[in-house]
C-alpha cells in the first residue's frame, strides 16, 4: 500500500510541472527598457543637486561622506562641493547632515558615462536641475 | 538532379535554414513559457555570424586537424540522415530497403563525436563531459531503438517510404503505438542532451563539458550540428508516427507536394513543441538517475507496447 | 604491504563559475565520486571589519549592508542594535515596528533569491527566471521605502531614517498577496517537481548531533529537528508581540532544508501582515543631538538573518570610531565546516546541490 502511495506521488509529481504551459497565455513579466519602464519613486536616491545660494561652504558633507567622494573647489569666489559620482555610494548622508539643505539627492538615475572624468561633477554641473 | 537534392533541397542549404528556424522557435517558446519575451527571429543567424567572425583557439596539446574535423563529420552525418526522410511524398530522394536503420545509426554519430571532442580537449571538464555523454548513450539508446523500430517490427516493412505508404493506406502509427511515441520523444530529448538530460554539458557544474575548449567557427559548427540533429530527429518522429506529409484529402501534382511539405513542417513543429515543454518543466537529473530511468521505465514501456501491438496483430484485431 | 594508488582528478569549482557564486574550492574526484573538498575562502575579502575601525558610526551604518549582499537589512539591524545597546537608547515603537517589517521583507527577498540560484545550478532554468522576476516585487518595495533597491541604507542608530508612506503600506499588501499566490506555484512547480526531488532528497544528510558539532544555525539546523530560532529564544525588536511558528523538519537532507526555507517565506508573510495591521503612530527616530556619537563600552548582539545566526560584537573606547567590530557570519561555518564534511563521498553532480542548499553567501563568508 505504501508502495502504491509512493508511485502515485511520483506520477503526479511528473505531470503537474506541465502546468507552466499556462504562462503562454499571459503577458510576459519583462519590461522592455527603454521603451517601457517603471516610473521612479519619490525619494529615490539619485544624482545630487546643489543650491548655490544656500550653500555656505561649511564642508560637513565632505567630512561625513563615507567614501570621500565630495571635495571642495573654488567657484565664483566661494567654496562649493564637487562630487565624484564614481566613488559615491548614494547613501544620502550628505543631505541628512547638511544644516541648510543645500545639497539634495534627486530622482535622476541615468548617469552612465564612458569616461571617468565626466563622472566628477563640479558645482556648476551639480546646480543644474535634472531633466527627468 | 541528385546534386540538387544533396545540396539545395532537402540537403544542406535547406536543412541549415530549417535548423536555424527550429532554434528560434525553441528559444522563443521556452522564453514565453518562462514569462519572458525571448529573442527576435534573426537571433540564431546573428549568433552564427558572430561566432564565425571570432578567433578560434585550439589547445596546444590537442590535434588541430582532428579538432576541426569533428563538427564537420557531425554535420555530414546529420545531413546524410536527413535526406532519407520522405518530406513531401511517400518517396524520399534515395529510398532503399533498410534505410530506417541507416538513419538511426547516422543520428547516433553526433554523440560519439561529442565524446571525441571532449576527450581531445585535454581539459578536465572535457573529459568528465565526454565520459558522461557515453554513459548516457548506454541509457537512452535502448528505448530509442525499441521505440523507433517498432513500426518496422509491427508491419514487417523496413524502409521509410514503405512505412509511410502503410500509414497513408491505414491510420497513422500513433494510433497503434501511442506509448512508443512518448518513449521516442523522451529518448530523443536524451540523445539531443536537452534538459532534463543535459548532464554531459552541464554548464553549471563543469562549465561546458565537451564544448569547453571550442571557440569561434568551430563552436558555430558544433551548435549547427546540434540544431540540425534537433530538426532531423523531430522530422524522423513525425514521419514515423504522425504520418509525415499525410493529411485529409491528398491532392496530386506539384501543389499537393507543396501542401504536403507544409503539413510535414507543422507536424515536426508539434513534436518540437512537446520537446520544448519537457525542457521548460524539469530540472537536470544525475547520470545514474538517467540510466535508472531509461532502463527501468522507458525500455519496458516500449517493450510492453510492442508486445501488445504484435499480439493484437496476431489475434487478427489490427 | 602494498598500497593501491587511486588516480584522481583535481577539478576546480569556481570562483569564475556559474554555480559557485564567488567561492573557490578544489575537488579531488575519482570518476564521479568526490574524495575530498578543499575550500579556499577569501575571494571577496575586503577587510570589512578593519575598515569599519576608520569610520564613524553613521558612516558604518550605511556601509555595513555590503557585508551580506543578499540580506542587507540584517546587517544594518545588527550594527544599529549593538550600538544602541552600548548607548542605552530607547527606540520609539513605530521605529521598532518599521525595522521588524523591513527585516522580514529582507528575509523573504533572500529566500526567493535562494530559490532562483538553487534552480539555476540544478539546471532548472524556468524556476530561475521566474524567481528573479518575483524578486522585483520586493525590490520595488525597497525602492518606495528607502530610495534604493539593493542597498537600503535605511536603519540607522536611533530608528529609521525616513517614515514609511501610505503608498508603501498599500504596495506591500499587494506584493504579499502576489507572493502568496506565487508560493503555491512554487509548490507544484519546484518543490513537488519530480526532478527537483530526485536531485535533493537524501543528499547532504546531517544528523542533529553532527549539525551542532559543525556549527550550523538557521534553517540548516532546524531541518535536522532542533528547535532553535533567535527570534524566539532571545527576542529582539518587536518579535515578542507577533505570533509565528518555528519551522523544523526531521530528515536533515537538502530537501528538508529547502522545505524549511519555503515555509519560512510563508511565516514571514504572515508576520509582516500582523505588523502592518498593528502599526502604531508616533516618532520613528530618536534625535541624537549635534556632534559625533562617542561611546564607551562593549556589546554583543545576536539576530536571526536569513542564513542563520548573525552576531555583532562591538567594542568602543570613547572615540567616534569603534575600536573593534566583529561580525559572526553564519555563512563562514556553513561553507568551511559543513560543506567539506557533507561533500565527502558524494558525486560531482551533488556538489552544487549541497552547496546551495546550505545557502551561503560568499560576501557574508569573506566580509
Calculated CA dihedral for residues B108, B114, B116, B117, nearest 10 degrees: 150
Structure confidence at residue B271 (pLDDT): 92
Domain count, chain A: 1
**DSSP state string for B180-227:** HHHHHHHHHHHHTT-TTS-GGG-HHHHTTGGGTT--THHHHHHHHHHH
Please indicate whether, in this complex, the C-beta atoms of C125 and B124 are within 8 angstroms of each other. no
d(CA C77, CA A35): 38
List residues of B whose CB lies inside 8 A of any A CB: 29, 31-37, 277, 280-282
Structure confidence at residue A3 (pLDDT): 72
Give the CA angle between residues B101, B103, B109 to the nearest 5°: 105
For this complex, say whether ipTM is above 0.90.
no
Please give the share of chain A, as a percent, with pLDDT higher than 70.
97
In CATH, what number is assigned to the domain containing residue A91? Answer: 3.30.70.3270
Question: Does C129 touch chain A if contact means CB atoms closer than 8 Å?
Answer: no
Which three cell numbers, joined as nine digits, stand for B94?
534515395
Q: Cβ(B100)–Cβ(B156) under 8 Å?
A: no
Averaged over B65-83, what is the pLDDT? Answer: 90
Tens-place pLDDT, residues C320-342: 888 999 999 998 988 888 888 88
Confidence of residue C366 (pLDDT cuts 50, 70, 90): confident
Confidence of residue A22 (pLDDT cuts 50, 70, 90): confident
- Domain containing A85 equals 48-127
Confidence of residue C291 (pLDDT cuts 50, 70, 90): low
Structure confidence at residue C3 (pLDDT): 47
Tens-place pLDDT, residues B240-284: 888 877 777 667 777 778 888 888 889 999 999 999 999 988 888
Please give the share of chain B, as a percent, with pLDDT higher than 90.
24
Residue of B nearest to A27 (CA): B35
Residue C1 has pLDDT above 50, yes or no: no
Range in A9-18, B36-45, B68-77 the model is least confident about: A9-18
Averaged over C160-188, what is the pLDDT? Answer: 91
Please indicate whether, in this complex, the C-beta atoms of A17 and B282 are within 8 angstroms of each other. yes
Residues of A in contact with B36 (CB under 8 A): 28-30
Please give the share of chain C, as a percent, with pLDDT higher than 90.
31
Radius of gyration of the CA atoms of chain C, in A: 21
Preceding amide of C157 cis, omega within 30:
no
Structure confidence at residue C44 (pLDDT): 87
Write out residues 109-128 of C within 8 Å (CB-CB) of B. Answer: 119-127
In angstroms, the first-to-last Cα distance of chain A is 67
Averaged over A32-58, what is the pLDDT? Answer: 86
Residue C5 has pLDDT above 80, yes or no: no
Which three cell numbers, joined as nine digits, stand for A62?
565632505
Beta strand residue intervals within chain C, DSSP E: 9-13, 24-30, 33-40, 155-156, 159-160, 296-304, 309-317, 324-328
Confidence of residue B86 (pLDDT cuts 50, 70, 90): confident
Kindly list the structural domains of chain C, giving each domain's residue range(s) and its CATH number in brackets, ordered by start. 48-299 (1.10.645.10)
Please indicate whether, in this complex, the C-beta atoms of C126 and B281 are within 8 angstroms of each other. yes
Residue A32 has pLDDT above 90, yes or no: no
> Chains that contact A by 3+ CB pairs under 8 Å?
B, C
Q: Could you tell me if residue A76 is inside a domain?
A: yes
d(CA B304, CA B298): 10
Residue of B nearest to A20 (CA): B33
Looking at chain A, the number of H-run helices and the number of E-run strands are 4, 5
Residue A61 has pLDDT above 60, yes or no: yes
Question: Does C194 touch chain B if contact means CB atoms closer than 8 Å?
Answer: yes
Amino acid at each position: 500500500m505504501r508502495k502504491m502511495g509512493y508511485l502515485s506521488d511520483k506520477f503526479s509529481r511528473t505531470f503537474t510541472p506541465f502546468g507552466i504551459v499556462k504562462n503562454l497565455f499571459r503577458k510576459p513579466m519583462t519590461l522592455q527598457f527603454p521603451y517601457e519602464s517603471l516610473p521612479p519613486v519619490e525619494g529615490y536616491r539619485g544624482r545630487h543637486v546643489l543650491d548655490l545660494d544656500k550653500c555656505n561652504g561649511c564642508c560637513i558633507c565632505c567630512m561625513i561622506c563615507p567614501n570621500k567622494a565630495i571635495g571642495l573647489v573654488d567657484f565664483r569666489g566661494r567654496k562649493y562641493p564637487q562630487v565624484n559620482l564614481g566613488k559615491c555610494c548614494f547613501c544620502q548622508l550628505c543631505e541628512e547632515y547638511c544644516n541648510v539643505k543645500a545639497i539634495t539627492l534627486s530622482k535622476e538615475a541615468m548617469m552612465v558615462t564612458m569616461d571617468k572624468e565626466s563622472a566628477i561633477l563640479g558645482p556648476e554641473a551639480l546646480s543644474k536641475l535634472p531633466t527627468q | 538532379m541528385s546534386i540538387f537534392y544533396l545540396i539545395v533541397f532537402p540537403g544542406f542549404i535547406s536543412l541549415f535554414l530549417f535548423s536555424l528556424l527550429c532554434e528560434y522557435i525553441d528559444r522563443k517558446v521556452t522564453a514565453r513559457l518562462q514569462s519572458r519575451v525571448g529573442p527576435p527571429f534573426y537571433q540564431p543567424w546573428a549568433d552564427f555570424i558572430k561566432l564565425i567572425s571570432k578567433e578560434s583557439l585550439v589547445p596546444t596539446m590537442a590535434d588541430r586537424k582532428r579538432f576541426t574535423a569533428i563538427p564537420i563529420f557531425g554535420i555530414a552525418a546529420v545531413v546524410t540522415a536527413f535526406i532519407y526522410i520522405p518530406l513531401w511524398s511517400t518517396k524520399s530522394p534515395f529510398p532503399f530497403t533498410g534505410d530506417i536503420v541507416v538513419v538511426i545509426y547516422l543520428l547516433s554519430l553526433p554523440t560519439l563525436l561529442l565524446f571525441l571532442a571532449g576527450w581531445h580537449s585535454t581539459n578536465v571538464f572535457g573529459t568528465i563531459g565526454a565520459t558522461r555523454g557515453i554513459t548516457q548513450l548506454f541509457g537512452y539508446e535502448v528505448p530509442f531503438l525499441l521505440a523507433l523500430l517498432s513500426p518496422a517490427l509491427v508491419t514487417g516493412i523496413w524502409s521509410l517510404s514503405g512505412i509511410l505508404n502503410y500509414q497513408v493506406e491505414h491510420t497513422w502509427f500513433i494510433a497503434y503505438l501511442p506509448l512508443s511515441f512518448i518513449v521516442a520523444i523522451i529518448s530523443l530529448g536524451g540523445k539531443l542532451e536537452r534538459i532534463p538530460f543535459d548532464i554531459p554539458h552541464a554548464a553549471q557544474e563543469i562549465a561546458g563539458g565537451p564544448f569547453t575548449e571550442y571557440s569561434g567557427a568551430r563552436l558555430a559548427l558544433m551548435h549547427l550540428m546540434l540544431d540540425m540533429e534537433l530538426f532531423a530527429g523531430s522530422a524522423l518522429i513525425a514521419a514515423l508516427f504522425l504520418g509525415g506529409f499525410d493529411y485529409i484529402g491528398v491532392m496530386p501534382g506539384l501543389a499537393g507536394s507543396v501542401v504536403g511539405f507544409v503539413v510535414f513542417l507543422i507536424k515536426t513543429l508539434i513534436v518540437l513543441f512537446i520537446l520544448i515543454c519537457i525542457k521548460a518543466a524539469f530540472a537536470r537529473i544525475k547520470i545514474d538517475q538517467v540510466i535508472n530511468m531509461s532502463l527501468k521505465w522507458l525500455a519496458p514501456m516500449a517493450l510492453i507496447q510492442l508486445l501488445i501491438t504484435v499480439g493484437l496483430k496476431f489475434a487478427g484485431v489490427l | 604491504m602494498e598500497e593501491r594508488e587511486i588516480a584522481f582528478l583535481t577539478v576546480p569549482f569556481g570562483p569564475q563559475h556559474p554555480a559557485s557564486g564567488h567561492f573557490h574550492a578544489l575537488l579531488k574526484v575519482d570518476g564521479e565520486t568526490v574524495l575530498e573538498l578543499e575550500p579556499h575562502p577569501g575571494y571577496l575579502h575586503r577587510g570589512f571589519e578593519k575598515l569599519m575601525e576608520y569610520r564613524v558610526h553613521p558612516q558604518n551604518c550605511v556601509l555595513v549592508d555590503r557585508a551580506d549582499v543578499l540580506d542587507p537589512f540584517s546587517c544594518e539591524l545588527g550594527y544599529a542594535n549593538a550600538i544602541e545597546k552600548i548607548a542605552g537608547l530607547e527606540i520609539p515603537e513605530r521605529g521598532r515596528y518599521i525595522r521588524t517589517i523591513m527585516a522580514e521583507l529582507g528575509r523573504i527577498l533572500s529566500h526567493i533569491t535562494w530559490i532562483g540560484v538553487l534552480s539555476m545550478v540544478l539546471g532548472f532554468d524556468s524556476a530561475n527566471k521566474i524567481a528573479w522576476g518575483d524578486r522585483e516585487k520586493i525590490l520595488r518595495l525597497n525602492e518606495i521605502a528607502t530610495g534604493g533597491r539593493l542597498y537600503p541604507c535605511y536603519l540607522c542608530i536611533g530608528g529609521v531614517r525616513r517614515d514609511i508612506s501610505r503608498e508603501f503600506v498599500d504596495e506591500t499588501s499587494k506584493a504579499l498577496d502576489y507572493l502568496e499566490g506565487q508560493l503555491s506555484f512554487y509548490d507544484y512547480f519546484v518543490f513537488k517537481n519530480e526532478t527537483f526531488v530526485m536531485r535533493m532528497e537524501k543528499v547532504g544528510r546531517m544528523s542533529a548531533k553532527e549539525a551542532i558539532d559543525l556549527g550550523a544555525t538557521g534553517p540548516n539546523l532546524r531541518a535536522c529537528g532542533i528547535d532553535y530560532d533567535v527570534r524566539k529564544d532571545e527576542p529582539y525588536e518587536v518579535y515578542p508581540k507577533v505570533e509565528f511558528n518555528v519551522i523544523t523538519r526531521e530528515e536533515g537532507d537538502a530537501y528538508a532544508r529547502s522545505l524549511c526555507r519555503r515555509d519560512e517565506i510563508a511565516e514571514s508573510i504572515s508576520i509582516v501582515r500582523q505588523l502592518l495591521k498593528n502599526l502604531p503612530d508616533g516618532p520613528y527616530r530618536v534625535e541624537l543631538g549635534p556632534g559625533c556619537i562617542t561611546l564607551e563600552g562593549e556589546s554583543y548582539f545576536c539576530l536571526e538573518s536569513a542564513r542563520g545566526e548573525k552576531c555583532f560584537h562591538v567594542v568602543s573606547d570613547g572615540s567616534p570610531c569603534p575600536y573593534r567590530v566583529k561580525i559572526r557570519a553564519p555563512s563562514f561555518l556553513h561553507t568551511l565546516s559543513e560543506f567539506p564534511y557533507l561533500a565527502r563521498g558524494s558525486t560531482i553532480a551533488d556538489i552544487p546541490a549541497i552547496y546551495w542548499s546550505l545557502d551561503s553567501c560568499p560576501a557574508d563568508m569573506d566580509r
